[in-house]
Structure 1
């Protein structure tokens, strides 16, 4: 059994200094088995190491942002060269033009792009722009996990404390009549959705239907490409499915972990945030660090890697092999209907159900616990291009052993005596867990 003495001590200290003990709710200690949340010190390829010297094959891989692997040398070198010449200036750099050209060559449906640092910067700028274009306030968002840290989205979640009522409505995915009802009930500025997710592909004609409804009701269509961009393809979901949005929002894998995001779209809309408009100007994006050179250089190196290698193909092959192996192990144990790896091969998740077939956080925690004990770290099985056959073999072996423990829990009807602490909790929830995080002593958790 692995030891987490230093990790636990540092995590306790983090809770004293950083609200939640991490800077992203998805990275919180509450998302991992109790006293088993590693504090990391470095990564290389698909592997990471913690402060206690434990080594892991990592999945989720930087909250899906590291598609090429940790420390991917061409990206690191490009960022380092740019940073050595200065990272921030009082005027644009040539690098901004080169990065914009690279981006728009990948996304032919977009005419202009503006860079930022966080995905929420981009999605909120898109909402602001859509409201200015249409003169409407209401935003319709798909019933999908996460779009922004800003009020227009967080106000619709369980963590809405401190946020006034928001003009945001919801609609289910793959349901055109439901979206039509939403758009017909009130004037809507924008329809925001991920064109696809790990668990849901668009039904034939769905995205084209969404495009047609937006045109009919005068709403802008906004694709959130945070996850699909550079994971479905370098041109995002819009390239895969052949439907062009009015605006699209990018982040995550653009810089292989370096902070960079983008808002892209049609010239007639994007120019409202510029200097070439007769209309009232929109305060679109104006950030000190949006054009920071290291992030843009990292992005250009990522583009080069996608042009000369096949990261998406490698992610998909690794993911398919992983899903096949783990699902085969679960089937052999007779628990394939309780423990399942599913999703797009480049963006896999595992579904955990209890003895009654109900999705279960305690059973999920047990599976995470057993994976950690065997050197696998991840809240999902999202792969990178750096995951090797050896990594997949190790993970399948670890998952098969974890599945055997899982079956014991199913046979006894609960995780009692097998799970060594409290279960994980949803990252976005109204209240903290009943057992509060203890303060540190002298001896001593997606944009």
Structure 2
């Protein structure tokens, strides 16, 4: 399929002149996509998007996993619109804040209280601050195998992109390995009585080994450390009551976002009353500045959240994600097997949150081959930095997707045999977390 990206290409230079990185999320940046790709999206409907040049794609990034129902989902958009007609931000709280909080506490078993924010980083940083106040400790432990917890210094200082962050702050974050309980034990042994909280996702593309999450829970309890489960991705995708319910682990605090608002800007910090209430005004302890944002509880985003959860409850959305994701995985794995690509292109993760790994002739992770796969799937009307499915993906979309992936993987096979440089147009991709451009 021939596509031109003239309008996108014309806008790129202006975007980079006006906006550092050319966009507002690193994962959406030009360095994450091949040269021959849509630079800007102008419209989305269901699981499809259109770029500035009118090219149509079935999308499998879904707003970095935030759009679980589908773009411009009618009942969610309508709820937000009707709320905006009443005003979007008042001098005092709106009753919808209480309604939405009540819904979250009802859904999440480990939540006694909840505080809303506009993005996940605010929620995770608030969790870190609460934990430090609650324990009187400074160190934060994060899972080194999980890619992102916050834009704030306590986390970014632990990545290769640590420019601008004082060494003293960098040294306050320590790391452990996922599914390696001995690495968690070692941290507690190395820093006795010093670790305020421990951050991890319940799962990413790797599943927790039997007993791992519960052992982490026991160690945190034993050492008086706050266990924080980051459910920005797993929340409202693995299970309506969170991955904590799916895996049977009870955190002290947990953070949510993305899928809870179907693309609207909403995040949440939820957890035990004795910890959360430190950010309140009814206790006699030292005050904690928890979350206080002008737009933190924008009425229209809360209305969108209530409408989104209503759709989840009434239409078995999460079951759809698992079922259709499994069909997609099976069909793509058949193509992989037919082309003998098992060691070079792999689908990873649960059906509701599939990602893929691209490898070169030596079976090493390859940004060149990732660029090639994206290039060829784009050529076939697919925009898939991942294989994240939505409620709007249906049988006809899966069929078109399987056909497009099949054609892309045929080129992938040729590139393995003949050299990727023969098929890739332009430069490879780059990892987001790198020290230099």
Is this a same-fold pair by TM over 0.5? yes
Which residue pairs with 1:365 in the alignment?
371
Which residue number corresponds to residue 438 of structure 1?
A: none
Aligned counterpart, 1:440: none
Q: Which moved more, 1:348-357 or 1:123-132?
A: 348-357
Task: Tell whether 2:189 aligns with 1:188.
Answer: no
Residue 336 of structure 1: how far off its partner (Å): 2.1
Alignment-derived partner of residue 242 in structure 1: 248
**Equivalent residue for 1:128?**
129
CA–CA separation in structure 2 for the residues paired with 1:176 and 1:269: 25
Asked if structure 1 preserves the Cα contact closer than 8 Å seen for 2:142 and 2:199, the reply is yes
Residue 37 of structure 1: CA displacement? 3.4
| TM-fit CA distance, 1:271 | 0.7
Partner Cα separation in structure 1 for residue 173 and residue 307 of structure 2: 37
Cα distance in 1 between the residues matched to 2:64 and 2:338: 31
Aligned to 1:319, which of 297, 305, 325?
Answer: 325
Structure 2 Cα separation of the partners of residues 226 and 305 of structure 1: 19
What corresponds to 1:162 in structure 2? 164
Select which of 256, 260, 282 maps to 2:266: 260
Report which stretch shifted further, 311-320 or 49-58.
311-320
Q: Give the 3-state SS of the residue equivalent to 1:227 in structure 2.
A: coil
Mapping for residues 93-112 of structure 1, pairs under 5 Å = 93-112=94-113
For residue 38 of structure 1, report the CA deviation from its aligned partner. 3.1
The 1-side partners of 2:240 and 2:89 are apart by 27
Q: In structure 2, how many angstroms separate the alpha carbons of the residues matched to 1:54 and 1:106? A: 40
> Does 2:23 correspond to 1:22?
yes
CA contact (8 A) 1:40 1:51 kept: yes
The one of 284, 288, 292 aligned to 1:282: 288
Name the CA distance, whole Å, in 1 between partners of 2:349 and 2:247: 17
Answer with 339-348 or 116-125: which moved more.
339-348
CA contact (8 A) 2:48 2:59 kept: yes
Residues 372-411 of structure 1 correspond to what in structure 2 (within 5 A)? 372-411=378-417
The 10-residue stretch of structure 1 (30-39 or 12-21) with the greater mean CA deviation from structure 2: 30-39
Distance in 1, Cα, partners of 2:74 & 2:305: 13
Compute the displacement of 1:241 (Å): 1.3
Distance 1:146 1:140, change over 3 A: same
* Alpha carbons 1:8, 1:36 under 8 Å: kept: no
Q: 1:426 aligns with which of 427, 431, 436?
A: 431
- Are 2:166 and 1:152 equivalent residues in the alignment? no
Distance 1:124 1:223 in 2: 13
State how far apart, in whole Å, the 2-side matches of 1:342 and 1:177 are.
25
Distance (Å, rounded) in 2 between the aligned partners of 1:393 and 1:371: 14
* Cα distance in 2 between the residues matched to 1:35 and 1:241: 41
CA distance in structure 2 between the aligned counterparts of 1:35 and 1:109, rounded to whole angstroms = 46
Distance, in Å, in 2 between the alignment partners of 1:150 and 1:37 is 30
Matched-pair contact (CA < 8 Å) for 1:342–1:349: yes
How far did 1:342 drift?
2.1
Residues 210-266 of structure 1, C-alpha deviation per residue, up to 9 Å, x if partnerless?
Answer: 111001111000000000001111211111112111100111111000000000110
Give the RMSD, CA atoms, in angstroms. Answer: 0.9
Helix, strand or coil for the counterpart of 2:387? coil
8 Å Cα contact 1:157-1:428 kept in structure 2: yes
Measured after TM superposition, the shift of residue 306 of structure 1 is: 1.2
Alpha-carbon contact 2:233-2:258 (below 8 Å) kept: yes
Paired residues for 1:64-103 under 5 Å: 64-103=65-104
CA distance in 2: counterparts of 1:171 and 1:272, whole angstroms: 28
How far off its partner does 1:35 sit? 4.0
Contact 1:8/1:35 (<8 A) preserved:
no
SS at match of 2:269: strand
Equivalent residue for 2:60?
A: 59
CA distance in 1, matches of 2:14, 2:384: 23
Match in the other structure for 1:43: 44
Is residue 29–residue 37 contact of structure 1 (8 Å, CA) maintained in 2? no
Secondary structure, counterpart of 1:263 in structure 2: strand
Q: Distance in 2 between matches of 1:326 and 1:16?
A: 40
Aligned to 2:181: 176
Alpha-carbon distance in 2 for matches of 1:285, 1:82: 23
Q: What are the superposed Cα offsets for residues 270-322 of structure 1, whole Å, 9 maximum, x if unpaired?
A: 11100111110100001111111010000100111111111111111221111
- The list of structure 1 runs, each at least 4 consecutive aligned residues, that deviate by more than 6 angstroms after superposition, is none
The answer to whether the Cα contact below 8 Å between 2:36 and 2:425 also exists between their aligned partners in 1 is no
Number of positions where the alignment pairs a residue of Structure 1 with one of Structure 2? 430
Counterparts of 1:336 and 1:243, CA distance in 2: 33
Give the whole-Å Cα distance in 2 for the aligned partners of 1:225 and 1:18: 29
SS in 1 for 2:431: coil
